[in-house]
Structure 1
Amino acid sequence: MAIPSLQDGIDKAGSPIRLLWQPNAEPWTPEVVEREYTGWRQEQAAWHEGVALLNLSHHMYDMWIEGPDATRVLADHGVNNFEKFAIGQAKQYVPVTSRGNIVTDGILAREGENKYLLSGIPAAQHWVQYHAEKGGYDVAFETDASSAFRPGGGDPKLFRYQIQGPLAAELVENVFGGPLPETKFFHSTPVTLDGRAFRALRHGMAGQAGFEFIGPWEHAGHVHEAFLKAGEPLGLIQVGALAYATPSVESGWIPSPVPGIYTDPELAEYRAHLPLFGIEGKRPLNGSLFSEDIEDYYVSPYELGYGKLIHFAHDFVGRDALLKAKDEPRRRKVTLVLDPEDVRTVLGEGQDPGFVLSYARHRVESATGLVGMTMQSASIDPVGTVLAQTLIDAEHAAPGTEVTVVWGEHPGSGTDPEADLGFPRIRATVQPSPFNEHARTLYRRNR
């Protein structure tokens, strides 16, 4: 029996929206790690005020791309500059369709002259591998799925541990017996610990400095224990799945946008190639902003703040469309700061609502009507309320602008998208994205 494809699922459902729309969908959190170690509030506070350890080893897909055409296939299908891409450096890789809609992003690390590692959710990996095989590029692929989907189970090929927070540098010095070599943001340096070799990637999240340590899984337990032991006097806190899903809201990164692949007739073969039971067919859509047209949820790299990553000095899929759209982004990325009193009233029935995490597309309105949609919302305890990464019409994007968020779950097809369903409104104020000033300035200065 043939495995059903994404196109099979769309045809059976009747439309991409009817396939993907799932009211009250459970928000994604990383697999395998504990949901909480000391409590999500304390874990969020750790990377703001102390030092935090995050285990990223299990929830990402890794795909190694190696061969004489490795750089060419990535450059042909991504907006990035490959003329300046050092071995040991990582970049946010941004593939787009011929219409200029983002497929998704991923973290691309250059491991050798003709070898790369692409990590993240597998939509970008599917895109690159499909076009490489269809185009006859001289390149080979090796994929390690996330732990929840790895065939036959077993351990990952790599461990990934992040050390973040104001005390991160002190912890790293304690572990390695001194400071690591000066390293640019998103560049890595080789390190050894008790004879075990791996790499330290200069990283940061939610405005705090830190490192991501990446190496062979056989060293995972030893490295993890070393950080725990050295971090105990510093009050090191391990971060669980709930808190881990929230720093992107402060850092301005929008995870897993809807891939712009569902409607273009030129991509029918691609949809027939993708399995239905992959991320493109199973990542749900929900919220108060409902449309029968999946294209209303597509986004461009400009809207996500990736305009500076686009390198027009090379030819790539989607280049012409992005050139045309360069000066006319539909929406701007902002952070909405939800009114704490309204959050308590709407989400907590007058009490502290506890942990809030949502990837729903909620309507954002002004006095004139619909002006935007939320992309991810989460409780940020150090801020004292819920923040929402949001795409909003340019005329409403100025910091201080007051809007409202319609919080609810539209039932989907069969109900008017504009129907008054009695959903509560939460007042909100527009602020910059990234919300954190350090993330907004120093991250970009160090790239």
Structure 2
Amino acid sequence: MTSPSLQDGIDRAGSPVGLLWQPGAEPWTPEVVDREFAGWRAEQRAWHEGVALLDLSHHMYDLWIEGPDATRVLAEYGANNFEKFAVGQAKQYVPVTRHGHIVTDGILAREAEHAYVLSGVPAAQHWVRYHAEREGYDVSFATDPSSAFRPGGADPTLFRYQIQGPLALELIARVLGGPVPETKFFHSTPVTLDGRPVRALRHGMAGQAGYEFIGPWEHAAYVHEAFLKAGEPFGLVRVGALAYATPSVESGWIPSPVPGIYSDPDLAAYRRWLPLFGIEGRRPLHGSYYSPDIEDYYVSPYELGYGKMIHFGHDFHGRDALLAAAGDTGLRTKVTLVLDPDDVRRVLGGGADPGFVLSYARHRVETPAGLAGVTMQSASIDPVGTVLAQALIDPAYAAPGTEVTVVWGEHPGPGTDPDADLGFPRIRGTVRPSPFDRHARTAYRRDA
């Protein structure tokens, strides 16, 4: 029996939004990793004040792309600059549709002249593979799904451990017997740990210093234990799944925007190629913002802050649309909303400490003039003392200090007016820049 496709699911549901709308959907957190080790508050403080270890080995989907046409297919379906892409470097890959909507980003690392690995949420991987196979590019693919979808409970191909925080570099030097050679941001350098090969990717989260260590799974347990043991005098804290999902709110990265693939008639064959039970058919939409039109959920890479990554010096799918949008002053602006702590306690905690809050809901952001934007991710950030929300809002309300309200609730979806006042509580918020963290906002790109 043939497995149902994404298009089959849309047809049965009546529309893309009918397929994806799931009021009250549970927020995603990394699979396999424990929810908490020292408690989410202590784990968040660790990368702000000390040193933290994060395990990324199980929730990443990896696609290896190798062959004479590897660079060509990635460049023709991605907006990035491939003229300056060194072996050992990584980039945030930005694929877009012909209308200039993002498909969902990923982390693309160049491993050799004709070899790359694309990691993260698999929507970008699906996009590249489909077009490469359909159009006959001379490339081959190998995949390693996340642990929740890996057949037979097999081990991952690679381990990935992040060491982050003000004490990260000191701990890393202790483990490796010396500092990592000077490495640019989002570049990697090969190192060894007791003779075991490891790649050290210069990385940061929420503005903190650190590296991501990547290597063959056969060495995973040894490397993990080495960091744990050496980290004891530094107060190393392991980060669980709850806290792991929160630093993107500070660093300004919006995870898993809705792929702009559901409505274009030219992509019908692509939707028939995609499985219904993949990320494109299962990542839910919900929150107080509701529209029956899936295109109202699409986003431009400019709205996500990816304008500096777009390179018009080559021809690529969606180039004309992005070129036309480059001067569009009506595009939404990415901001951080600092939610009022008293309102957070009142609405989310009934007057008490609400505990851990994590939401990928699209909540309405309003001003007295009406709808101003929509939240994309919200999370408790204990060192800040409240909930922060990443939001896309009208540029007229994007100035830091602007007061807005967030409508916190779950619209029931089809059958109810999208603009109906359903009596949901309001939480006051103040607009701040995105990224919220100053170092992430000012230095990440400078150091790249």
**TM-score (norm. length: structure 1):** 1.00
CA–CA separation in structure 2 for the residues paired with 1:291 and 1:83: 40
> How is 1:145-294 mapped onto 2 (pairs within 5 angstroms)?
145-294=145-294
Q: Supply the distance in 2 between the matched residues of 1:180 and 1:252 (Cα, whole angstroms).
A: 27
Secondary structure of the 1:291 match is: coil
1:413 and 2:417 are equivalent in the alignment: no
Q: Is 1:17 aligned to residue 21 of structure 2?
A: no
* SS of corresponding position for 1:280: helix
1:152 deviates by: 1.7
The offset of 1:285, in angstroms, is 0.2
> Could you give the per-residue CA deviations for residues 159-189 of structure 1, whole angstroms, max 9, x where no partner exists?
0000000000010011011111000000000
Give deviations 1:254-282, integer Å, cap 9, x for gaps: 00000000000000000010000000000
Match of 1:66 in 2: 66
- 1:72-87 to 2 correspondences below 5 Å: 72-87=72-87
Q: How does 1:35-50 map to 2 (within 5 A)?
A: 35-50=35-50
How many angstroms apart in 1 are the aligned matches of 2:29 and 2:142? 25
1:148 partner amino acid: A
Structure-to-structure mapping, 1:321-340, within 5 angstroms: 321-328=321-328, 329-340=330-341
Q: State the shift of 1:59 in Å.
A: 0.2
Q: Note the C-alpha offset of 1:419.
A: 1.1
Instruction: State the alpha-carbon separation in 2 of the partners of residues 198 and 237 from structure 1.
Output: 22
1:440 matched to 2:441? The reply is yes
Cα displacement string for residues 202-253 of structure 1 (whole angstroms, at most 9, x for unaligned residues): 0000010100000000000000000000000000000000000000000000
What is the 5 A alignment of 1:418-433?
A: 418-433=419-434
The match for 2:304 is: 304
Mapped to 1, the partners of 2:445 and 2:242 lie a distance apart of: 27
**Considering only aligned residues, what root-mean-square deviation do their CA atoms show, in Å?**
0.5
How many angstroms apart in 2 are the aligned matches of 1:323 and 1:202? 31
Matched residue of 1:315: which SS?
coil
Query: Structure 2 matches for 1:361-380, cutoff 5 A?
Result: 361-380=362-381
CA distance in 1: counterparts of 2:52 and 2:3, whole angstroms: 42
- Residues 365-407 of structure 1: per-residue CA shift (max 9 Å, x gap): 0000001000000000000000000000001000000000000
- Structure 1 runs (4+) deviating above 2 angstroms are none
- SS of 1:243's equivalent in the other structure is helix
**Fraction of identical pairs, as percent:** 80
The aligned length equals: 447
Q: C-alpha displacement at 1:420, in angstroms? A: 1.2
Q: Structure 2: how far apart are the matches of 1:153 and 1:99?
A: 39
Separation in 1, partners of 2:119, 2:209: 21
Matches of 2:59 and 2:280, distance apart in 1:
17
SS, match of residue 124 in structure 2: helix
Aligned mates of 2:434, 2:156 — CA distance in 1? 33
One-letter identity of the residue aligned with 2:428 = R
Counterpart residue number, 1:121:
121
Matches of 2:291 and 2:384, distance apart in 1: 32
Partners in 1 of 2:58 and 2:212 — Cα distance? 14
Paired position in structure 2 for 1:348: 349
**Aligned-pair CA distance for 1:304:** 0.1
- Structure-2 separation of matches of 1:192 and 1:330: 46
How far 1:105 sits from its partner (Å)?
A: 0.2
1:385 matched residue in structure 2: 386
Give structure 1 stretches of 5+ with no counterpart: none
CA distance in 2, matches of 1:62, 1:356: 29
Deviations 1:140-164 (A, max 9, x none): 0000000000112210000000000
Q: TM-score scaled to structure 2, two decimals?
A: 0.99
Q: Matches of 1:13 and 1:243 in 2, distance apart?
A: 34
Q: Distance in 1 between matches of 2:304 and 2:169?
A: 30
Matches of 1:18 and 1:49, distance apart in 2: 44
Q: Match of 2:361, SS?
A: coil
Q: Which residue of 1 aligns with 2:54?
A: 54
1:121 is displaced (CA, Å) by 0.7
Deviations 1:390-441 (A, max 9, x none): 0000010000000000000000001111111100000000000000001101
Question: Which residue does 2:399 correspond to in 1?
Answer: 398
Task: Provide the C-alpha distance between the structure 1 equivalents of 2:159 and 2:61, rounded to a whole number of angstroms.
Answer: 12
Alignment partners' CA distance in 2, 1:145 and 1:408:
33
Distance 2:227 2:443 in 1: 26
In the TM superposition, what is the alpha-carbon distance from 1:63 to its structure 2 partner?
0.5
In the other structure, the counterpart of 1:320 is 320
More divergent stretch after superposition (377-386 vs 145-154): 145-154
Deviation at 1:334, TM superposition (A): 0.2
- SS at 2:373 equivalent: strand
Distance 2:64 2:353 in 1: 45
For residues 325-381 of structure 1, give each alpha carbon's deviation from its aligned partner in whole angstroms, at most 9, with x where no partner exists: 101151000000000000000000000100000000000000000010000000000
